[in-house]
Amino acid sequence: VQLQACGGGLVQAGGSLRLSCAASGRTLSMGWFRQAPGKEREFVAAISQSGGTTYYGDSVKGRFTISRNNAKNTVYLQMNVLKPEDTAVYYCAADRSPGVHTTTGLYDYWGQGTQVTVSS
């Protein structure tokens, strides 16, 4: 499975961005992680295959929303009320095992990353 992420960019604090990640095949659990310079990769959000179960990292709860369109094999991350500390490279991830994964080691497939920069 190949993942293609897009939608990153430069936005002012308080603004919004929507990331998309298209998968080349069917996947079950899908998620988003981010990595800022000098920091470890951090869990952002994950969603089950049906879309009925979602998890969020504490730093993005109430501001970010993950969703998916299985007909298009695509997962989205709507990011609102962006803060400078949200600046990072955002990676989408996918797996063909059931469940909703919040750790990097449980994902087999990774996208190339898309840069999100939030200016103050």
Beta bridge partners of 79: 17, 64
- Quote the pLDDT of residue 3: 95
The reported pLDDT for the residue numbered 97 is 86
What are the DSSP E strand ranges found in 24-63? 30-35, 42-47, 54-56
Cα angle value 62/63/67 (rounded, 5°):
90
- Mean of all residue pLDDT scores within the chain: 95
DSSP 59: T
Amino acid at 26: R
- Helix or strand run (H / E) with residue 3: strand 3-6
Q: Calculate mean pLDDT across residues 46-51.
A: 94
